[in-house]
Amino acid sequence: MTAATRKSRDGRTRARLFSRTGGSLVRILFSLIITFVGLLLVTFLIGRVLPIDPVLAAVGDRAPQEVYNRVREEMGLNLPLWQQFFVYIGNVLQGDFGRSVLTANPVLEDIKRVFPATLELATLATIIGVFLGVPAGVFAAINKGKWPDHIVRIIGLAGYSMPIFWLGLMGLLVFYLKLDWVAGPGRLDAFYIDFIEPTTGLMLIDTLIEGDMDLFWNAVSHIILPASILAYFSLAYIARMTRSFMLEQLSQEYILTARVKGISETRIIWRHALGNVMVPLVTVIALSYANLLEGSVLTEIIFAWPGLGLYITNSLLKADMNAVLGGTVVVGAVFIGVNMLSDVLYRLLDPRARR
């Protein structure tokens, strides 16, 4: 084969690879849209099967029939169901989830206010989970069948089996009530709460911007326990997946080649094998991040963490449907988005996935 034909073939392959990636990206986008419409359909139907009449909720049950009819028409409830669904999609796309009965604010405004708290918690938890889970998985894989492997496996299984709300309570009991190592529920001590202007909404960053180290350490002391408890769940998942990816890599022939060449075992494991594991691991980490955004619901209740989970459950217990459905759509959309993003990342990072 001459250099010229090889070059042209490379070019052709690259062009084809690119177009295929493009094709699959379009397909991903398409399925993203379909899934999102499906999400809206489900929340729409949930809103409709609700036994409470939304008109009665708005006008009260003493309102005369004309008022009732007028409000019903204003709310678009006289339209056929499919038309109502399209109106609903249009509203959601404009960010209009209606008004929360509980706070009297538009739901979107409420969500914007509470979302950073959840984001901060889930992000810190994922960081902790990755920094502990990946090495744990690698150690388990190197020592397959020996006691480090069993310990990691048992820790992981316990993580899968633990009710998170209970673990949170036990954490509070031991580390806050008994040992007093960390601060209790909430994001800051009540004494400090008025001192801070929400700029980003992320307490750790806001306090740093203000340059107030007292506030910063107070915020750290508040977030560390809920974040660690959430992190345990992502740790269990990340360690398990890392272990199985590593085992797959370590049985490959290129590892044998590297060993024959005399490369040190440390380098083989942490550079060669782990380097190849990183790509599928990105997907796993993204998935666990999405799961934490959801998993934080129960944690937020235990720790009185003013995030999206607490907002949804509080609204739910007061039958504030606009807020519940709005929150569900936002969490669902983030969840779907992160899932798809991890899919796209995987395709971009791993050349084999393009074929």
Partner 1 sequence: MNISSNAVKPGLKQWLTSDTPQSRWQAKCGRAWLGWLKFTENRLAMIGLSIVLALILVTIFAPLLAPYDPLAADLTNRIQSPSAEHWFGTDQLGRDILSRLIYGAQYTLMIVALVVITAAPVGLLVGTAAGFFGGWIDATLMRITDIFLAFPKLILALAFVSALGPGIENAVLAIALTAWPPYARIARAETITVRKSDYIEAARLQGVSNMGLILGHITPMCISSLVVRVTLDMAGMILIAAGLGFLGLGAQPPMPEWGAMVSEGRQFLLEQWWVSTVPGLAIFIVSLGFNLLGDGLRDVLDPRGGD
Q: Which residues are at the interface with partner 1 (CB under 8 A)?
A: 31, 34-35, 38-39, 42-43, 46-47, 49-51, 157-158, 160-167, 169-170, 172-173, 177, 243-244, 247, 290-291, 293-295, 297-298, 301, 312-313, 316-317, 319, 321, 324-325, 327-328, 331-332, 335-336, 339
Instruction: Pick between residue 185 and residue 263 the one whose CB is nearest to partner 1.
Output: 185
Which amino acid is present at 192?
Answer: Y
Instruction: Pick between residue 38 and residue 198 the one whose CB is nearest to partner 1.
Output: 38
Q: Any residues with CB less than 8 A from the CB of 230 and at least 6 apart, and which?
A: 121, 122, 125, 129, 164, 292, 295, 296, 299
Give which of 316, 302, 304, 314 is closest to 165, Cα–Cα. Answer: 302
Instruction: Pick between residue 215 and residue 286 the one whose CB is nearest to partner 1.
Output: 286
Give which of 310, 338, 332, 354 is closest to 123, Cα–Cα. Answer: 338
Instruction: Pick between residue 47 and residue 148 the one whose CB is nearest to partner 1.
Output: 47
Instruction: Pick between residue 215 and residue 225 the one whose CB is nearest to partner 1.
Output: 225
Instruction: Pick between residue 43 and residue 276 the one whose CB is nearest to partner 1.
Output: 43
Instruction: Pick between residue 16 and residue 48 the one whose CB is nearest to partner 1.
Output: 48
CB of 209 to partner 1, least distance (A): 32
CB of 53 to partner 1, least distance (A): 13
CB of 31 to partner 1, least distance (A): 7
* Token digits of residue 64: 């005369």
The 10 Å CB-count burial string (b at 16+, else e) for 246-262 is bbebbeeeebeebeeee
Q: How far is CA 6 from CA 10, 14, 101, 216, 351, in A?
A: 6, 12, 68, 59, 19
With contact defined as beta carbons under 8 Å apart, do 126 and 292 qualify?
A: yes
With contact defined as beta carbons under 8 Å apart, do 246 and 137 qualify?
A: yes
CB of 318 to partner 1, least distance (A): 10
Measure CA of the first residue to CA of the last residue in the chain; give whole Å.
Answer: 24
CB of 160 to partner 1, least distance (A): 6
With contact defined as beta carbons under 8 Å apart, do 308 and 330 qualify?
A: yes
CB of 248 to partner 1, least distance (A): 8
* Token digits of residue 114: 């509470």
CB of 169 to partner 1, least distance (A): 6
